[in-house]
A and B are shown apart, each in its own frame.
Chain A
């Protein structure tokens, strides 16, 4: 310190310059504080400590803490304090990429929405995308480089790798292996190529537990080319899904949902809509939207596909390519169903679509490609393009790698993301195969299961902290740009990959720009690049469609390689099916929003369960929540059972991604690790499962205990044909006395009058709105125990009702949130007038005034009010507070809260319009739920403006109000659900939907 004058010292320790003081300076926080974040801290002990700290803080005096804030000396040009900035970026997930627009406030990203320009999101965003904002601020993310489990730093790792690299280069990368997740990134594939050049003998294996690998293998087998399918559901008049949850957990579900909803938008009796046939095992989001659904075992879908091919060819579809294949008849299935579906597909003439889920083996994909080709759908409802930037996720190679490791042929293993110790097929015994690997380097977001055994662990930057790029399925190149500096000093994928390849540290920004110099070609790079950054993608970069030619030999070969057999499942030889879930493959296990989002169908949060059909449960003598043992191939797993109507008989469906042992404070020990039953041979389904009843009951947090509508006119519906015939919906509205008021009612006919319309024909129940609302409105996560107690805080919930046959029910979904009743029962009973009406027709909550009598909740017929039973926000880790929206009050304990149509957005738009001297235009205010809805089921606007979209929808003859008969006069109206059953099947199905629900 070459400074003149006095030198100030902070403490005697500094004067003495002790080690402790140096350590203190080095550490960001005093000893003991960071350690608190360790895994050993349960919520309870955390609360205890917090309580004690609070008590001590209280002793120090009752003043608020002094926190100095310092204004900018020179304000960054783009930052206006109080006003958000929006940046386009992209979320890579497996082989797909979802274009996003992220709202950033004072430099911190707070909200994720879809990028309208991006082909995969088209303005909407799914649950994974939106919840990743919470993942960014996850305090459990790895925060330091670990060397053999001990704290180290990046420089040490770089030094280590430089040394290590020398002899890897020397022997051409012998014994060097990279295990990555699948990706679809031009820059990363460029680096991968360089890596392969630098270390020609090294291996680069990519593995994802849940991937589109089967799809690409199938297409490759049928066409001899690596192609990427792109579906256009909006054009399809008849869709047949073979085990494809394309509206739920398949890749590209956001795009699919929008397309599918567009194909079913009915605004008048003249409009038509598509028809959806679904053949699946477990009731999925797609299955619950289906017009006809067949529940069969996953293992028989291949047989079904062949029977369908046989049926199509019988009905005159030219299937020459399959001449050498014996196609079974449909005798093993519901023959009528098959016949009618096939006829319908043919009748749709080039406007039909058969889609197969990624759970199905490659041969089904190959066969169905041929069927789509024969039906003339290719180029119409499905198109293909070449995507060179996406290596296949191929489980064979993981098996090979494991074998190599076991035999000592791998000396250095580098994980580039991924968590194979947790999610590799159990029979590969991946963890034990690591023993002979000398150096294991783990690069990941978390110090997770795989990091535990690694020699080095390097924290990976979150995509919101990273520079990068990704290619969407249609080939559009999009850019990933960081919204914030890495919070925990982590490094991006590209930085890490550059280091591996060249031994030099290079910024990811430079690496991306290097790639994009080629992509953008000549001309003014900076100008083009700025445009890309602005849009988040390169406009017009979609890959050219390829019309694949079917490789007859390959197709015949892959189909003949396997045989299909008749169903053999019995109660003692059941089929187990593995599904991805709200936490995907387990990577989102530490995301509280996703954990607390109830499963779309079962409505269970915070756990995975073994789903069985009601009939199977009866035979097994099990009830909801009973612990059972799943015995499969000599392995067994105990988990709770849940009876799910619509599950195929003698099958058990389990979700992957739970039961993590090192996920973080949210995900560790949440649910059951079903990977322990998943083998390389049967990654998605297999028979041979037996189920034993243990007997004791396990507590599950279920947000909807009752699945029947009890015949009440809550979700009203009709068939398309019925609606065209006469505008009526079932259940019918009950007779009620005239709805009159005792006093003069407020007119609400001036200025803005806000209202909402929700189209039940579009809503699939995917849950995007729930997460959007949670993110926008700072809704706390309350945990399993509280959800179990019925205290979930979601302002919008998705009600799911079953009707008809228990074994294959009809399902309806209904987003339910505050209806903003003009005649609100809640307002009348609040003793302190904390919930009142504003003159724009909103039922507003004055949190400051609320004393928490909860009377309003009791008197709410829709039960959409949520109460802060505890001080839930107290548990939010400091860093996660950065994810909160500063425009929305954080509610304290003892306060009631609920949806107010995103009043903060309304006011922002009003202020903006006033400053510009005009009215708020229609569509200018978009509520968070509406914004995120992939189906565009939600429309919000001014109902006092007859030209607004919402006004027009409220004039529509499908409009109705829920519980109209109690004269609440809701501002939210629903559009009745329509089904489009095939008349040829209706009579046979003895049309159960006489709407006598339950």
Chain B
């Protein structure tokens, strides 16, 4: 078996990434079995729960289409509410997957192999959830396709100056690339499953999806090159997508939105929240599927370090915004930030600060950084905090230039149901993934086993 990973010797100080004396055989066995075994009751129960919640989303959307955007809590100063908050939240979550699979790949971080598969799956599903919101939040859903540059008899193009249009391109490209990247990564493992398949249907279906993969030397050579290129293509996306999303705000004139720090700040936040979500999902998956040998404490600790780093970047951005508001001498800007911390939405602001800035500080301590319960709880808090970050930003609308139009936004039941429902959709997709596909990239994990060390085989491939 060849390796996709780097061919250097591991530094001796690093403890082994995969525990439990795994061999190629046991890796294949243990991971494949998860996709091959009989459906468990636990999974069925979880799926029915998730699917029911997803139905809430469908129901809410149905009612939304029937009645109009008015079922949400929007008003005139605050014309964007939870839908946009959720959109940015979900897009942000997606970023960790791409970062792990593409950037860490390019940086030859071997520890990514255990988590990249489900992190990428998470990306995909999060982006699906994210895409739901800009689609449904427009007033006239039936003409939403006018956002796309479709040739038409009126020669009417979309407005290329609008950040919302940039969003359309950024997010759809992101989704496409992530999908292709993820699927490409799946091919060798699908072929493994195909080879192990016992029923005819399985053989045919997996046969189709593994695209005739035989694991030959030439195939590996092409495959690795393709994977490398895709990783290269995906890498800028990690930075660009959320930068573009941030321009939705940064390009406007709204005090509190009109800030040049937004692109890097958003990207850091996205990675931060994405890792938190990977952590939450990883801890559960690991526990349920007994993958402790594959997703080890070492993996988790590394992710915690990234969260500590990105959390501090986010915290720095929060501080920087205040500094710039003061330094600019712009009274509207100054008001917007004082209002953020002490105005009607101060509660949301302080939730955000506590979750995103204070909680990650625990990870300075090794003991806390390696404690599973602590990191699980922390990851959930960070997810909450990052949702609130977007909420706080969007709510800058509530108090802009003319005090006469200031108003307060409160969500309605439908806002809440739609948001909860999006989690249903996310978990439904994720559960289907857990059930039918290899949760861990088997061939990549094999590549980081001691057996894969080229010195065992006497030469690189």
Residue positions of A touching B, CB distance < 8 A: 704-712, 714, 734-735, 786, 789-792, 797, 799-801, 814, 816, 825, 828-833, 849-855, 857-859, 861-863, 865-871, 892-896, 962-963, 966, 968
Contacts and interface: CB of A to CB of B under 8 A. Distances in A.
Contact of A870 (B70, B79, B165, B253): B70
At the interface, is chain A mostly helix, strand, loop or mixed? loop
Contact of A851 (B76, B144, B156): B144
A867 B79 contact: yes
Nearest to B159: A833
Contacts of B156: 833, 849
Interface string B217-237: 000000000000000000000
B253 to A, nearest CB: 5
A851 B139 contact: yes
Contact of B147 (A831, A854, A896): A831
Contacts of A866: 76
Contacts of B40: none
Interface stretch (B90-98, B100-108, B396-404): B396-404
Contact of B76 (A852, A865, A870, A963): A865
Contact of A829 (B137, B162, B408): B162
A858 B68 CA distance: 19
Nearest 4 pairs between A and B by C-beta? A852-B139, A894-B139, A790-B75, A869-B70
Contacts of B215: none
B158 A858 contact: no
A705 B407 contact: yes
Nearest to B339: A710
B163 interface: yes
A830 B139 CA distance: 13
A375 B100 CA distance: 89
Contact of B139 (A709, A735, A825, A895): A895
Interface string B47-82: 000000000000000000001111001111111100
Interface in B228-273: 248, 251-254
A790 B76 contact: yes
A863 B400 contact: yes
B146 interface: yes
B143 interface: yes
A966 B332 CA distance: 10
Given A704-B405, A706-B404, A791-B70, 8 more contacts: A712-B332, A790-B75, A828-B251, A830-B159, A831-B147, A832-B158, A857-B79, A893-B68
Bin the interface of chain B by size: 35 or more
B20 interface: no
B335 to A, nearest CB: 7
B76 A863 contact: yes
A977 B10 CA distance: 77
B384 interface: no
Nearest to B162: A831
B79 to A, nearest CB: 4
- Tell me which of A791, A825, A829, A871 has the highest count of chain B C-beta atoms within 10 A of its own C-beta: A829
21 contacts: A706-B404, A712-B401, A800-B404, A825-B252, A829-B164, A829-B252, A833-B159, A853-B139, A855-B248, A861-B401, A862-B401, A863-B401, A867-B76, A867-B139, A868-B139, A870-B68, A892-B140, A893-B68, A893-B70, A895-B140, A962-B402
A861 B79 contact: no
B68 A816 contact: no
B401 A830 contact: no
A45 to B, nearest CB: 16
A861 to B, nearest CB: 4
Given A832-B158, A853-B164, A862-B402, A735 B329 contact: yes
Given A831-B147, A852-B138, A861 B69 contact: no
Interface in B125-143: 137-141, 143
B159 A894 contact: no
- Tell me which of B76, B141, B405 has the highest count of chain A C-beta atoms within 10 A of its own C-beta: B76
A801 B157 CA distance: 43
Contact of B402 (A714, A855, A868): A714
Contact of B403 (A706, A830, A962): A706
Contact of B165 (A831, A867, A868, A963): A831
Contact of B253 (A791, A830, A832, A859): A859
Contacts of B138: 851-853, 894
A861 B165 contact: no
A894 B407 contact: no
Contact of A854 (B79, B161, B253, B400): B79
Contact of B146 (A797, A816, A825, A849): A849
Contacts of A855: 79-80, 162, 164, 248, 252
Nearest to A704: B404
A863 B399 CA distance: 11
A865 B168 CA distance: 24
B139 A893 contact: yes
Contacts of B406: 705-706
A207 B402 CA distance: 45
A869 B162 contact: no
Contacts of B332: 712
Contacts of A870: 67-68, 70
A868 B407 CA distance: 18
Given A799-B404, A831-B147, A852 B69 contact: yes
Nearest to A857: B79
A777 to B, nearest CB: 17
Contacts of A962: 402
Nearest to A867: B79
Nearest to B409: A790
B139 A712 contact: no
Nearest to B161: A828
A804 to B, nearest CB: 16
A893 B68 CA distance: 7
B19 interface: no
B372 to A, nearest CB: 42
Contacts of A850: 139-140
A828 B164 CA distance: 10
Contacts of A869: 68-70, 74
A31 B69 CA distance: 35
Contacts of A825: 252-253
Contacts of B403: 706-710, 712, 714, 801
- Tell me which of B332, B400, B404, B405 has the highest count of chain A C-beta atoms within 10 A of its own C-beta: B404
Contacts of B80: 854-855, 858
Contacts of B164: 829, 831, 853, 855
A128 to B, nearest CB: 25
A896 B141 CA distance: 14
A610 B40 CA distance: 65
B257 to A, nearest CB: 8
Contacts of B402: 712, 714, 799, 816, 861-863, 962-963
Contacts of B254: 858-859, 861
